[in-house]
Structure formats: structure tokens, C-alpha cells
């Protein structure tokens, strides 16, 4: 049943009709638990509260299915405004973004131009930017664009997904850039031709790439809600005397909040991924796909309206 629900919500996450409908009707049906609000002002207030609890943030202006150059440039402008807001409010926050929202599906050139405009401001304001990884179809192009940008900019990182067979090879290939990488399991539905179909294999590959990247001496963001992976990481860094400032844990806004606070008390750096914006539908559907408990929460909220 869990796998059926996962596939159902992943299917819905790519539905353009429902995406547009969700934009029209705003943050309803429980999405507010995982999304900080529709504007940068809402997000700023959320970040302040998280910072006060001793946690860092990465902020993401949500956006998918960009159909025009104008939409892509508008999304890039929103990212620039977010960077300026982080700086002006002295927030402990980075920025995350998706290349599809920068116009990648329209043209590589457009996405590259938008990214350069964003990174120019990010370097000026000392705000780090992470390029989120999307589905396998866009993986190689994302990494190609990251490499090109990394030649000119310091304040940039990207994401590697352990459910892809190619993950370890990508870690090794990127090592020459001394990259700051967020390591995740992966949240898209992929073919068994390119991704491990079994969870145990995804988990083992996740451990493998965490160890590879840390032992390469590079900054590592371990983005997981899985206690087994957190425990693996903490044992690994102690065993190899890896500096505590070479890694951090990351979790999603609204999920396992108590565990986030526990990690801070244990002395670890904790970064919360905080999305905002009116294009929240695809992100929300993937959160429902990841965890049945999220579905139960939303149904309870809807019943109570």
C-alpha cells in the first residue's frame, strides 16, 4: 500500500493542471506544514525563528514547469531578491534553486545566464547557492552546468542522489572541484535501468557516497531524516577524526522538528530546508509520497476544516 501511495503522489507531482490549480487556490490542505508561506516576507519571519533555535536554513523559492523565458527570468529575479533579503536581515541562510525554474528546459544558455546573474549577487552578499538535483533526465545537464559555473564562482554547490547507480562515479568526477555537496537518497520515480529499485541498496549506496565525499576532504551536507544514516555519519566522523565543521545535517521544514533540535544540542550543525512561494504543489506531492504519516496529517487537517 505504501508503494502504491508513493507512486500515486509522484504521478500527481508532475501534473501541470493540478499545479496551476494549486497556484490559484493557495496553501491549503495541509501544505502550510511544509511550506513557509507564499512571499519572501513570510519566509524571512520563519528563518528568524529557526535561527533563534540555533539552526541554519537554506531557502527555496518553489517553481516548476517554467514554460517561457519571461517566467524563468522572473524566477531568477525572485532568487536575487531572496539573497538580498538574507543579507539585509542578517539571516543564517543559504539559497537553493532548481534549474528547471531557471529555464533549463527552454535552453541551457538561458539557465546559465540566469544562474550567472544570481551568483554575481550571491558572491557580493556572501550567500551560498545550492543547485537542487531533479530527475535523472536532467542529471547530467545539471552537473555540466554546475561544473561550468564552479570555474568562476565559489558560492555554489549541488546535490547527488544515492538512488542513482551513477552517484559514486559523480562524487569521484566532481572531486577536482572540491565541491560542497548535499547528499540525499532521492525523491523522484526512476526506472530500474538508472536507479536502485530496493531501499536497502539505496541506503548502502548512501553510506558509500557519504564516506567517499567526507574522506575526500570536502564539505558534506547529509540530508536525511533517517536515524540510521545520522548514526552512521556520526560514527564515521569520529572514527576518521573528521572536523565537525566539515559537515552538517539537513532536514526539511516541518518534518522531525524535535530531532532537528536534538542534533543541535548534540553539537552538530543543523540546516533546515525552507521552501516558500505559490508554486508549492509539486514539492508538496513529493513530501506526501515520501512518508505515509504526512498523508495522515493532511487528511486530518482537511477533515478539521
Q: What is the pLDDT of residue 22?
A: 47
Q: Is residue 21 part of a domain?
A: no
Q: Is residue 27 part of a domain?
A: no
For residue range 107-156, list pLDDT tens digits in order: 999 999 999 999 999 999 999 999 999 999 999 999 999 999 999 999 99
Identify the CA nearest to 91 among candidates 45, 158, 154, 35.
45
Report pLDDT for 127.
Answer: 98
Q: Establish if 26 belongs to a structural domain.
A: no
What is the model's pLDDT at position 116?
98
Q: Mean pLDDT throughout 78-100?
A: 97
List, in sequence order, every residue forming a beta bridge with 157; answer none if it has no partner: 130
Mean pLDDT in the chain? Answer: 87
Encode pLDDT of 263-283 as tens digits: 999 999 999 999 998 766 666
Residue 24 in any domain: the answer is no
Q: Is 132 a catalytic residue?
A: yes
pLDDT for position 296: 46
What is the CATH classification number for the domain harbouring 124?
A: 3.20.20.220
**Is 195 within a domain?**
yes
pLDDT tens sequence across 188-221: 889 999 999 999 999 999 999 999 999 999 999 9
Of 132, 170, 203, 278, which residue is the catalytic one? Answer: 132
Annotate 183-203 with DSSP letters as a single string: EE---S---TTTB-SSHHHHH
Render 218-276 in DSSP notation, one character per residue.
--EEEE---HHHHHHHHHHHHHTT--GGGEEEEEETTSSHHHHHHHHHTT--EEEEEEE
42-69 confidence digits (pLDDT tens):
999 999 999 999 999 999 998 766 889 9
**32 lies in a domain?**
no
For residue 18, pLDDT beyond 80: no
Residue 185: the pLDDT is 94
Q: Which of 65-74, 261-270, 295-304 has the lowest mean pLDDT?
A: 295-304
201 is catalytic: no
pLDDT at residue 144 in the model: 98
Query: What is the total count of domains within the chain?
Result: 1
In the predicted structure, residue 294 carries a pLDDT above the cut 60: no
pLDDT for residue 66: 82
The whole domain housing 226 covers 2-11+37-303
Q: What percent of the chain has pLDDT over 90?
A: 72
pLDDT higher than threshold 90 for residue 25:
no
The predicted structure's pLDDT at residue 280? 63
On the CB side of 195, how many CA atoms lie within 13 Å of its CA?
A: 22
Residue 255 in domain:
yes
Provide CB contacts within 8 A for 154, sequence distance 6+.
Answer: 123
Angle ∠(56,14,11) on CA atoms, nearest 5: 105
Residue 189 lies in a domain: yes
Check: CB of residue 121 under 8 Å from CB of residue 82: no
At residue 304, the pLDDT reads: 39
Residue 79: pLDDT above 50?
A: yes
What is the widest separation between alpha-carbon atoms in the chain?
Answer: 53
pTM metric for this prediction: 0.86
- Point out the catalytic residue in the list 6, 150, 182, 287: 182
Q: Is the pLDDT of residue 305 over 80?
A: no
Amino acid at each position: 500500500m505504501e508503494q502504491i501511495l508513493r507512486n500515486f503522489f509522484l504521478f500527481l507531482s508532475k501534473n501541470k493542471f493540478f499545479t496551476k490549480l494549486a497556484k490559484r487556490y493557495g496553501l491549503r490542505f495541509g501544505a502550510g506544514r511544509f511550506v513557509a508561506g507564499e512571499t519572501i516576507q513570510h519566509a524571512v519571519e520563519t528563518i528568524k525563528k529557526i535561527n533563534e533555535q540555533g539552526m541554519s536554513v537554506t531557502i527555496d523559492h518553489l517553481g516548476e514547469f517554467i514554460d517561457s523565458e519571461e517566467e524563468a527570468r522572473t524566477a531568477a529575479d525572485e532568487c536575487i531578491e531572496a539573497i538580498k533579503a538574507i543579507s539585509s536581515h542578517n539571516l543564517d541562510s543559504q539559497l537553493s534553486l532548481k534549474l528547471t525554474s531557471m529555464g533549463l528546459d527552454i535552453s541551457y544558455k538561458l539557465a546559465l545566464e540566469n544562474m550567472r546573474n544570481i551568483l554575481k549577487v550571491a558572491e557580493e552578499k556572501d550567500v551560498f547557492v545550492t543547485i537542487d538535483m531533479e530527475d535523472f533526465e536532467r542529471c547530467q545537464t545539471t552537473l555540466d552546468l554546475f561544473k561550468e559555473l564552479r570555474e568562476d564562482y565559489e558560492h555554489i554547490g549541488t546535490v547527488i542522489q544515492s538512488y542513482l547507480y551513477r552517484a559514486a562515479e559523480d562524487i569521484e568526477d566532481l572531486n577536482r572541484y572540491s565541491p560542497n555537496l548535499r547528499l540525499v537518497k532521492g525523491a523522484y520515480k526512476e526506472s530500474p535501468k538508472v536507479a536502485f529499485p530496493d531501499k536497502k541498496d539505496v541506503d548502502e549506496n548512501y553510506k558509500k557516497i557519504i564516506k567517499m565525499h567526507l574522506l575526500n576532504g570536502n564539505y558534506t551536507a547529509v540530508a536525511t531524516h533517517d536515524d540510521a544514516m545520522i548514526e552512521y555519519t556520526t560514527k564515521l566522523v569520529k572514527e576518521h577524526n573528521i572536523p565537525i565543521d566539515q559537515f552538517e545535517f539537513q532536514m526539511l521544514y516541518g518534518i522531525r522538528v524535535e530531532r532537528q533540535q536534538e542534533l543541535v544540542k548534540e553539537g552538530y550543525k543543523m540546516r533546515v530546508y525552507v521552501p516558500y512561494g505559490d508554486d508549492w504543489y509539486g514539492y508538496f506531492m513529493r513530501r506526501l509520497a515520501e512518508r505515509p504519516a504526512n498523508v495522515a496529517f493532511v487528511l486530518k487537517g482537511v477533515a478539521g476544516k
